[in-house]
Amino acid sequence: MMGALPYLYLTRIKNGIKELVKKPARLIYVLFLVALVIFSLTVGDAGKGGADFRDPAELAAMATALYIVMFLLTTQNGFSRGGSIFTMSDVNLVFPAPFRPSRVLFYGLFRQINTSLLLGLVILFQYGWLSRTYGISSIVLFSLFLGYVATVFLGQITAMAIYVFTSSDEAMRNRIQAIFYLLTGLLALYIGLYVWQHVGEGILSAAVTAANSLVVRCFPVGGWLGWAFAASISKAGFVPGLLASLAWLALLVWLINSSNRDWYEDVLKTAELTQSIAAAQREGNLEVAPEKVRVGKTGFDKGWGADAFYYKHKIENRRGNIFLLSRNSLLYAVLFIVVALFMREGGILGVFSFVTYFQLFSTALGRVNKELTRPFIYLVPEPPFAKLLHNLREMLPAALVEASVIFIPIGIIFDLNGYEICACILARFSFSLLFTAGRIIVNRFWSGASKALTFVFYLIVMVILSAPGVVLAMVTGSNLVLISQNFVMFLTMAVVNIPVSLLVLFLCRNMLQYAELNY
């Protein structure tokens, strides 16, 4: 007879499959993701054709860096709210049941594998440029995907273990946190010193050598999994990294099970916090206040009518951002700059496409999304169009600063002149406006649809809105030479995208007239 927990786990999977049939929107979303993966794999295979590929050691270095960064970011949650491998349904139904804590822990681990697999899907979408640049096969991509999934999984378990052992002992938490930052600092110091000592070989070459060194590969989890992945593209052995990762998992499970601590109570707060965040997001509160908030000056003495929303958002951004940018924006900027180092031979257009591709998922409506769920934006006696514009004003400076932070270093890497860098910044800024306009269209006409179907609508709308600028840029770039081809193409995109965005805003100017349109 099957045990209760395995039955519960398999039943959840079966019910998830049944929901695909009962909810067509979710089925469309899943099919759309599958189609994107197939398209990415097909395009990648079609683009191999005997081209000269870059050194696979660069890919191994990028994978190791990705794994280490993801492990550090995931593990850091253990010092504040722990790893969220249990939900409130588990707390209410599984925890009170007569199961041994060890079996409940393994149930949570298997549940977390599903989440890690979903988070790793983004890796599969990178097959096109990876195969064209490094000539990798689908098997290598699958190895990269598995390494990413394992990194997120082990990071969540590590965060849970840290939280279990430090949640009630602040002194121990401070000591472990100090060790965490010390190891991270020593790793960064080692890579920096190595690059500085071998700068004559080229910064990129020195960084790749340092990332593939034994010291980096011995870094917990991220380095081990990078070591294992390197075996798929070189003659390096995968056994040491794989064994170290498995030993780490076994050690964490043993420590949690063998300790005298009641980890049920420790993860209860984590589950409650995760549940409250999900409930707040469903209600439209897109942000949850951290434990420490920089308050500074309170209130504002500027703004009148619809203009008050803009100054309100400025204060909120000052408290939550760093120099007008969120932490996620800064992380994306660092990622794009690092990727640009490895894609120099592909040209600036390839990097711009990569940056815009991720911008499609990272761009949001900003704080106006939060305002749409509150009555104040509808009660202010101002024209709907004025309220919409003033609520969108706060994203303009951040979009321009973010574009500058990304493309000034990338322009230097690609030896672009000042005109080309300015054109890249303007084009990136125009796509911020365009993607914001696309989200407004979706909110205006499909705000009541499910999240999955809304996402599909958003992608379709963005393809339609982006098509005029992209097509016209390709035509003018081939037939008009003004300063350079890159300058003409990026400037053309900006010149087309900005009017298209403004036209969409004008056509949706009355979206704030009725609150029912946004529920």
**Which residue range forms the structural domain that includes residue 246?**
40-281
pLDDT(143) > 80:
yes
Residue 277 has a pLDDT of 57
Q: Structure pTM?
A: 0.69
Per the CB < 8 A criterion, the answer to whether 291 and 80 are in contact is yes
Per the CB < 8 A criterion, the answer to whether 85 and 156 are in contact is yes
- Answer whether residue 25 is part of any domain: no
Which of 109-123, 134-148, 318-332, 452-466 comes out lowest in average pLDDT? 318-332
* Cα separation, 19 vs 239, whole angstroms: 40
Of 274 and 210, which is predicted with more confidence? 210
CB-hemisphere CA count at 13 Å for 50?
0
Q: Are residues 265 and 344 in the same domain?
A: no
**pLDDT tens track for 404-428:** 888 888 888 888 888 888 888 898 8
Q: Are residues 44 and 107 in the same domain?
A: yes
* Cα separation, 404 vs 508, whole angstroms: 29
Which of 97-111, 149-163, 454-468 comes out lowest in average pLDDT? 97-111
Q: Are residues 233 and 376 in the same domain?
A: no
Partner residues linked to 482 by β-bridges: 484
Give whole-number Cα distances, 406 to 203, 370, 402, 481, in Å. 19, 27, 6, 25
Residue 5 has a pLDDT of 74
- Answer whether residue 512 is part of any domain: yes
Per the CB < 8 A criterion, the answer to whether 480 and 495 are in contact is no
- Sign for the CA dihedral angle at 164, 167, 172, 177 comes to positive
Residue 433 has a pLDDT of 86
Residue 286 has a pLDDT of 46
Picking from 60, 58, 75, the residue whose alpha carbon sits closest to that of residue 226 is 60
Q: Are residues 45 and 164 in the same domain?
A: yes
Give whole-number Cα distances, 14 to 8, 10, 24, 29, in Å. 10, 6, 17, 18
Give me Rg for the CA atoms of the chain.
25
- Answer whether residue 73 is part of any domain: yes
Residue 76 has a pLDDT of 79
> What average pLDDT score do residues 149-174 get?
80
Partner residues linked to 322 by β-bridges: 325
Q: Are residues 374 and 493 in the same domain?
A: yes
Give whole-number Cα distances, 27 to 11, 19, 33, 207, 418, in Å. 19, 8, 10, 44, 47
Q: Are residues 117 and 249 in the same domain?
A: yes
* Cα separation, 232 vs 128, whole angstroms: 18
Picking from 216, 512, 280, the residue whose alpha carbon sits closest to that of residue 378 is 512
Domain edge (last residue) among 281, 311, 326: 281
* Cα separation, 141 vs 126, whole angstroms: 9
Per the CB < 8 A criterion, the answer to whether 439 and 511 are in contact is no
Q: Are residues 274 and 299 in the same domain?
A: no
- Answer whether residue 18 is part of any domain: no
* Cα separation, 499 vs 503, whole angstroms: 6
- Answer whether residue 29 is part of any domain: no
Q: What are phi and psi of 87, to 5 degrees?
A: -110, 175
Cα 518 to the center of its chain, rounded Å: 26
Picking from 246, 239, 190, 238, the residue whose alpha carbon sits closest to that of residue 221 is 246
Domain edge (last residue) among 225, 252, 281: 281
> 451 pLDDT band (50/70/90 cuts)?
low
Q: Are residues 342 and 440 in the same domain?
A: yes
Token pair of 11 as six digits? 């039943």
The DSSP result for 423-487, as a single string, is HHHHHHHHHHHHHHHHHHHHHHHHTTS-HHHHHHHHHHHHHHHHHHHHHHHHHHHHH--BSBHHH
Q: Are residues 161 and 268 in the same domain?
A: yes
Choose from 121-125, 234-238, 334-338 the range with maximum mean pLDDT. Answer: 334-338
Beta carbons within 8 Å of 11's beta carbon, 6+ residues apart: none
**pLDDT tens track for 220-231:** 888 899 888 888
Using DSSP, state whether 292 is helix, strand or coil.
coil
Three-state SS string over 167-195 comes to CCCHHHHHHHHHHHHHHHHHHHHHHHHHH
Residue 345 has a pLDDT of 65
Q: Are residues 56 and 173 in the same domain?
A: yes
Residue 1 has a pLDDT of 45
Picking from 237, 238, 45, 227, the residue whose alpha carbon sits closest to that of residue 136 is 45
Average pLDDT taken over every residue of the chain? 76
Q: Are residues 165 and 190 in the same domain?
A: yes
Picking from 519, 193, 513, 490, the residue whose alpha carbon sits closest to that of residue 382 is 513
Which of 40-54, 106-120, 155-169, 287-301 comes out lowest in average pLDDT? 287-301
**pLDDT tens track for 271-303:** 666 666 555 555 545 455 445 555 556 666 666
Q: Which helix (H) or strand (E) holds 123?
A: helix 121-124
* Cα separation, 78 vs 172, whole angstroms: 13
* Cα separation, 173 vs 33, whole angstroms: 41
**pLDDT tens track for 82-99:** 556 677 777 777 777 777
Q: Are residues 138 and 277 in the same domain?
A: yes
Q: What are phi and psi of 182, to 5 degrees?
A: -65, -45
The domain total for the chain is 2
Token pair of 264 as six digits? 């049920």
pLDDT(125) > 60:
yes
- Answer whether residue 53 is part of any domain: yes
Residue 480 has a pLDDT of 63
Share of the chain above pLDDT 90, in %: 1
- Answer whether residue 213 is part of any domain: yes
Domain edge (last residue) among 281, 308, 330: 281
- Answer whether residue 20 is part of any domain: no
Partner residues linked to 484 by β-bridges: 482
Of 397 and 29, which is predicted with more confidence? 397
**pLDDT tens track for 302-345:** 667 777 777 777 777 666 566 666 666 777 788 788 777 777 66
Of 376 and 196, which is predicted with more confidence? 196
